Structure 1
């Protein structure tokens, strides 16, 4: 009994002291407090709440993007990752350039003739991607209207799938694929087909892109 009373008195005393401290008009002098001598750096073990895939990603030096869903930015970043893993400064074994792996012939159509400048200019590469997609959208405008929503070889045709395939193979090859209902399925030098791009990049929002026959990209 005495022990319970003693515990009660201790708790009551603490409550009274806390009340007095909070109700006081005095300003706390923070200069009396210091973290000197305390060890403030703390590292969570790599085993805590992580799996091997997450650790490999975090320990690598490669940049990665948050999940962008089916937005237009998601579309172009997913396509760029497939083309070059998002590397602006790469040239593949066939001479295709940059983040989106442009051929020199396509770049000339877009008004770009200085390929070294293009390779070292991320802003120009982004402009080229937009211009090329808008040009392809104009060329394929009738096919987009005719085929979007239909199924070819079990794949639902979408505008983003068509534009991604046009980036891979050119708009002419995409026309052949659609109008042959999948019989004429172009494959690039690495074996990647129009049909693969149609499926992989289906359902993105590409309404941002406006059909433009004369789309160009410039560094100015």
Structure 2
């Protein structure tokens, strides 16, 4: 009789272990494993692309950043310098985001040589300068966001990109004149072009800061 009860007990214990997955810890709610809200933008090659890479000894798959803030920075950096931190153009503009020396001094950077060798400092400079421009243009962002000027929809990210190109003052003149007072840089790139090219990125978390300085954390 005892051996029979022992066998029954063992069967019950095994059944419990199997149904619980041998786990005695606290169960986690399904929401714990949710990817909701995460930016999972990865480019995965399809069959045709995989076939093409058989002929390419150095295949390159890039992370797709979409319209995120990082995507905004990378797109602007690529337009300015093709993402080259160490470059100086023929007009003396420096680094990935092509800063003027006077602009760097304004955000607390006084050594251009060190700046060119420090990618973290360049990213911090971009953040600081963008925060300053957002403060200067805060009223214009509120007033013109979503409107059309010269056939281009105005967005916050477009305004901030144009300010990086032309300066906040010139962007303000362009917007308030309905596009009549334009600006083009030495390469012929216009405010209108930047408003269009960098439209619709998520720059909402950038805090307006009149006195922002470049700081490496």
Match of 1:100 among 97, 101, 105: 97
- 1:84-99 mapped onto 2 (5 Å cutoff): 84-99=81-96
For residues 108 and 177 of structure 1, the distance between their equivalents in structure 2, rounded to whole angstroms, comes to 26
Q: Which protein shows a greater Rg?
A: 1
For residues 107 and 144 of structure 2, the distance between their equivalents in structure 1, rounded to whole angstroms, comes to 27
What TM-score does the superposition give when structure 2 sets the normalisation length?
A: 0.73
Match of 1:81 among 78, 91, 95: 78
Residues 155, 199 of structure 1: 8 Å contact kept: yes
Residues 112, 218 of structure 1: 8 Å contact kept: no
Match of 2:112 among 108, 112, 115: 115
Unaligned runs of 5+ in 1: 1-46
What TM-score does the superposition give when structure 1 sets the normalisation length?
A: 0.72
Q: Secondary structure at the match of 1:100?
A: coil
2:185 counterpart of 1:188 = yes
Q: Secondary structure at the match of 1:93?
A: coil
Misfit runs of 4+, over 6 Å: none
- Equivalence for 2:172: 175
For residues 164 and 195 of structure 2, the distance between their equivalents in structure 1, rounded to whole angstroms, comes to 11
Please state how far the C-alpha of 1:218 moved relative to its aligned partner: 3.5
For residues 73 and 182 of structure 2, the distance between their equivalents in structure 1, rounded to whole angstroms, comes to 23
Q: Secondary structure at the match of 2:175?
A: helix
Q: Deviations over 1:21-65 (max 9, x none)?
A: xxxxxxxxxxxxxxxxxxxxxxxxxx97228xx94xx748xx874
Match of 1:208 among 205, 208, 212: 205
Unaligned runs of 5+ in 2: 1-48
2:152 counterpart of 1:150 = no
